[in-house]
Every structure is written in C-alpha cells, then in structure tokens.
Chain A
Amino acid sequence: MLKDRTLEDDYRQWKDSHPLHERDWKFTTLSGQPVAPLYTPLDLEPNEYTKEIGFPGEFPFTRGIYPSMYRGRLWTMRQFAGFGTAADTNRRFHYLLDNGMTGLSVAFDNPTLMGFDSDDPRSLGEVGRTGVAIDSLADMETLFHGIPLDRVSTSMTINAPAAVLLAMYVAVGEKQGVPSEKLTGTLQNDILKEYIAQKEWIYPPKAAVELVVDTIEYTMRHMPKYNPVSISGYHIREAGSTATQELAFTIADGMTYAEAAMARGLDVDAFAPRLSYFWNSHIDFFEEIGKFRAARRIWARLMKEKFGARDPRSWLMRFHTQTAGVSLTAQQPENNIVRTALEALAAVLGGTQSLHTNSMDEVLALPTEKAVEIALRTQQIIAYETEVVNTVDPLGGSYFVEAMTDRMEAGANDYFRRIEEIGGVLAGIDQGFFQREIAEAAFQYQAELERKEKIMVGVNDFVSDAPADIPILKIDPEVEREQIRRVRELKATRDNERVRATLEALTGAADRGENVMSYVLEAVRAYATVQEISDAMKAVLGTYREPAFV
C-alpha cells in the first residue's frame, strides 16, 4: 500500500511537471474508447498478476490456453476458400495444401448458406459466386476428391444448413473408408450470430438452436475429435459492432448454446471442451490483443463459476481468428497486405489457435491465387521470421495491454447484465437489441470517418487518383449453368423413392422432436439435396422472417 501511494505521488508529480503537448486529435480506440497518454501500474488491480493474469495453461488462461503455446505448436494456417463448382474449389485446396497450408476451410455460396439448390429461382446469379456451390453429396465427394479426411482437418463455414453439411462430410468419410470417429475439423454452426449480424437463416431462432444442440449431441457420441460449433464474433464485427460488442454478444451466444445443451440433459464437461470460438482481428492492435486475452479469461470464469464445469478442458477458449475484411480498402489495394499483416500479428500475440489472413483483393472480388499466396506467406513470415513466437504472451504485463484486457472484460460484463435484463439472447434478437446496437455503432464509425476523426489511408486521406491495378478473379457465368445441369441430372438419375422415404422420415423425426442428425445422414446418403432436406425440416420448424431494425 505504502509503495502504491508513493507511485501515485510520483505519477502526479510527473504529470504536473510535464504539461501536455498533444496534437489536436481524439485519442480513442477504433471502437471509440478513450486512451490515456500513459499507463502505469496504477491502472492495474491490486494483485493483478495472481488474480487476473496468471500463468499460461492455468486458470483464468489470460496468457494462453497452453503452457508452452507456440513453442509447442504453431497455430494452424487455415485459409478460407471456395468458389465456383466443387471441382474448381478442389483444385484450389490442392494448391493450398501443396503450398504449406495446414488445414482446409470451406466457403459456401449464398444459395447453399440459405438452403437453396442451385436450380432454385432465388439462386439466380449467385451460384458459385462467393463460395462453392454444394447441392448434394455428389458435390461434396468432388470437393474432397484426393484429400484424405483422416489426415486433413476441415473447417466449414455453414450455419442454417450446418447439420446437412456435417452429414455430408461424414458420408464422404464413409466413402473414403474413414470412420466418423476419426474426422477432425470445425463446423461454424453458430446460428445466433446469423440473426444478429450475418443474416443467412432458414428456421426461427429457437428451433435453430435446438438443431445446433442436435449436432452437439451427435458429435459428442460419434465424432469425438470434431468441433460442432465455432461461436463467431467475426461477422458481428464485420457488421459494424465495436470490439466490446463483438466480445460480449458472441460469448452471450456461447452461453445460450451451453444452456440449451444442458437443458437437454447433456453434461457440460462432455460438450464444452469441443466448443470453440472465432474472432475478428481488426486494425486497432492493442484493443484486439486486449479482446483476445479478455475473451479467454471471461469464458474460463463463466464455464467454471456459472456453468460448474469441472474438467479444465471445458474452461479453455480455443479460437480461430480472421483478419478484418472491413478494414480492407478498394483504394490502393496493395496496402491491404500491410493491414492484414498487422492484424495477423495481433491475433498471434493474442494467442490464436488458427488463423485466416485476408487477401488484398477481397474487397474487390474473390481472391486470385497470387493474392491468396501472399496472404499465406504473411502468416509464414510471422511464424518463421519475426521470432514473436519464441515466448508465451510477450505483451503480458504491459500496463496498457493489461488495462485494455481488464476494460474489455468489464465492458462485456456490462453487456451480459443488459442481455439478462431483456430476457436473454433469443429475446434480444426478437426485440432487435443486438441489431440496433450494431447498426448504431456502424453509423457512429461512418460518421467519425466522414468527420476525419478516424483515418483510412487511401479512403478519406492520402488519396491517390491512380486506378487500382490488380488482377480480378471473375466467375464464369457458365459455372451456374453447369451446376444447374449437374443438380438436375442428379435429381433425374438417383433413387427418388429412397429420397422421398428418407425425407419423410426426417420430417417425422423433426415433428416428434427427436435428434434429427441420423435422419439427415440417411437423406444425405440417398443424395437428397440441401434444399430438399432443409424444406423437409421447414415443414415442421417453420421459416424465419426478419424483424428489420434500421
């Protein structure tokens, strides 16, 4: 105590004897939080180290979930890819694996994300545009052709129809002779953030959460090495939220899944170790690092104290990170390489388990092979050249970083209280709470840009008239015609009696409130399409309609 008081006095004396000579500038984080000129031990809690920071691999995991972190194993370099037909994406996968990528990550096109087949009129113009078009198991077989599923882990960015794509992955494994117990990878399967931010939905939220629990239950029993949900803040941030909102809303979603699974009678220690997270790494370096460190600590405390998990593996927040798509600019796109590198470095210093680095041209179109390669090389440079991986949590103990971490946690706890007051996440979605908070934050940030209180190089300052001169990947309109031809041919040649029977059985199971996974798998094996399977469940679960909040 005596020592602290002395420091306080010293600090005051320092402050008084050095009048501020500051630029006329609002010193705030990207999320608009004020930043002080200097951080000292005075900004930390008493006993900060033992109570809040601790050691890596130990509760509350602020410094990392593993004792040796990157000295033991580097993060997985996992580049999200998908475009055109399954064959097009399969070629890109082989290219990336040949270049040292260590995990696959599938991007699906909009029709697949919304549960529409390529030949549905609503899919017009969108087939294979922003991801790969998958209509049936036949496409999935092509997508993973020549890729041994017992040796490569695959992440799939799919939500509303996640159960269907999971079943397809299991069925491809079967065809390759790989039992589901050996499959590794991650299903995004975070439907709550769809209603909050990403807006690719099929069923109403409550039924959709139960469907998520079906997949949790199924993987618990049959796919012990597979992560059934990747609770995602990424899209919440991309939709314009602040860092604190990303942190709070996402963990609130995570709690909702945990509560739903426990309500079904599942033991928290049986499923919690398989839950993982997915964060955005934006351009404010220290704010992001504070967010990652706070996220681990909040989750560990919640799982241990609120959910009563006893297995330390349940307390660990494992997470994937992607650099911020919204931070990229169409102007002077080469600058995006630099932005991505800084964001990737923040993710690594924040202790991520896997990482996707955006390509410089993603703001313009799908990435070209060259741009994807630079993005992957960026990760390799951080991993193998910068030497930042040599010690665990190198920024731990920085007064600023610890203060930022504490502030993030406090901000998230405030939101948790508000969410509880309005009746939880589902009620919040229904009332538009999250949607409005995000729209407001996005609007505020846009206003700051226009007042030039925040600068984006090449956009509102340091503008150049030279046109962007980088190659663009275009999807041939022939892709859509080819995919439509493919799905129509499939529908004409498969055993349609078997399809009908499996779909009927699925509708029946949904109606009885059974876990639908094994029925979905049967329908997938019969080559029923994504839309047919989704429709069979829609008949019971209903269709979501957006309560729009502007």
Chain B
Amino acid sequence: MAQQGRYRILMAKAGLDGHDRGVKVVSRALRDAGMEVIYTGLHQTPEQVVRAAIDEDVDAVGLSLLSGAHMTIFPRILDLLRQEGGGDILLFGGGTIPEDDVLTLKQMGVAELFTPGASTVDIVDWVRAHVGRPTEASAGR
C-alpha cells in the first residue's frame, strides 16, 4: 500500500547575511501546512545547499537572501542543481530584491521570488500550486 508522498522543502540561507527571521517564519508556516521542511541553517555556500537538496531529494528549494548577492547566488544554485541532475527541483526565494532583478532571475529559471510584505499564506499556496509531487507517490519526477 503506497503512502501519499509529502511535500519536502529545503529552506536555506546562502551567503553571509544572518537575517533568519523570514526563513524561520516561512519554515514554520510550511510545517504547519503539513510539509516536511529541511532547514540548513545560516551562512551556507551554494554547493552545500545543492548537495543537501540532492541528497534529501526535495521538491523545492526556498532560498532567503538579504545580502544583495542575489544576482550571484541564485544563478549559481540554478547551475549547480542542473549539473547534479536536479534541474527539476524548483528554486524559489525571498528577500530584498529589486523589481528588475526579480524579472531577470525569473527568466533564468527561478520559479518565484517573494519580496518583503509577502504573506506566508501566499507562499504556502504557491508551493502547493507549483510543486507537482503530492498528488501521487513520487510523481512528477
């Protein structure tokens, strides 16, 4: 008897900024929505984030970045995910990211970016709508 798959989301902070208020609030909201959240802590390199995403076989990576390094770190993580065969793992994120950078990053393949003021309800709904997995076991991959 197969058990329904469950959303598995990696929540990560990459780079050197220590602002973890947002990532913790979102992690708790995803948990309360019934998802499995793997939080990797502060100050991670893109390589560490991607290795964790692959080993943990998550459906999506949520990256929080308030350091201004978004134009460096998001593309690097996208590249590494593809290199490691995880191109189908969704990358979304949040932080202080100017509008035109949001557009550029989305064109590169970042699935969604939440800027200050986004509600956790919106984020949970977005994950439910865009992560393909849970309708059937291991589906969509």
Contact = CB atoms under 8 A, between A and B. Distances in A.
Check A-B contact in the complex, CB < 8 A. yes
Interface of A: 110-111, 113-114, 116, 121-126, 129-130, 194, 198-200, 238-240, 326, 329-331, 363-366, 438-439, 442-443, 446, 449-450, 456, 458-460, 467-468, 472, 474-475, 477, 546, 548, 550
B69 A456 contact: no
A363 B43 CA distance: 21
Contacts of B42: 199, 546, 548
Contact of A110 (B15, B24, B98): B15
B15 A126 contact: yes
B36 interface: no
Contacts of A363: 96, 116
Contact of B117 (A123, A124, A330, A443): A330
B16 A113 contact: yes
A365 B67 CA distance: 10
Given A130-B17, A364-B96, A364-B98, A329 B116 contact: yes
A136 B96 CA distance: 29
Contacts of B17: 110, 126, 130
The secondary-structure label for the interface of chain A is loop
B39 A548 contact: yes
Nearest to A363: B116
B55 interface: no
B24 A442 contact: yes
B71 A125 contact: yes
Given A199-B18, A329-B116, A550 B67 contact: no
B5 to A, nearest CB: 23
A475 B21 contact: no
Contact of A124 (B24, B41, B69): B69
- 10 tightest Cβ-Cβ pairs between the two chains A and B: A199-B18, A125-B72, A125-B69, A129-B68, A110-B16, A459-B117, A330-B116, A548-B41, A126-B69, A240-B21
B41 A472 contact: no
A439 B24 contact: yes
A122 B16 contact: yes
A46 to B, nearest CB: 42
6 contacts: A126-B68, A194-B18, A239-B20, A331-B117, A365-B68, A459-B117
B16 A450 contact: no
A92 to B, nearest CB: 16
Most chain A CB atoms below 10 A, which of B18, B45, B98, B120:
B18
Nearest to B74: A125
Given A114-B16, A450-B119, A548-B42, 17 more contacts: A110-B15, A113-B16, A122-B16, A125-B73, A126-B72, A129-B69, A200-B18, A238-B21, A329-B117, A330-B115, A330-B117, A363-B96, A365-B68, A366-B68, A439-B24, A439-B28, A546-B43
B24 A365 contact: no
B98 A129 contact: no
B24 to A, nearest CB: 5
A344 B124 CA distance: 36
B108 interface: no
Contacts of B68: 125-126, 129-130, 365-366, 475
B100 to A, nearest CB: 8
A39 B40 CA distance: 48
Nearest to B46: A124
Contacts of A124: 69, 72-73
Nearest to B41: A548
A454 to B, nearest CB: 12
Contacts of A450: 119-121
A550 B16 contact: no
A550 B98 CA distance: 28
A439 to B, nearest CB: 5
A111 B43 CA distance: 11
Nearest to A366: B68
Contact of B16 (A111, A194, A472): A111
Contact of B27 (A125, A438, A468, A550): A550
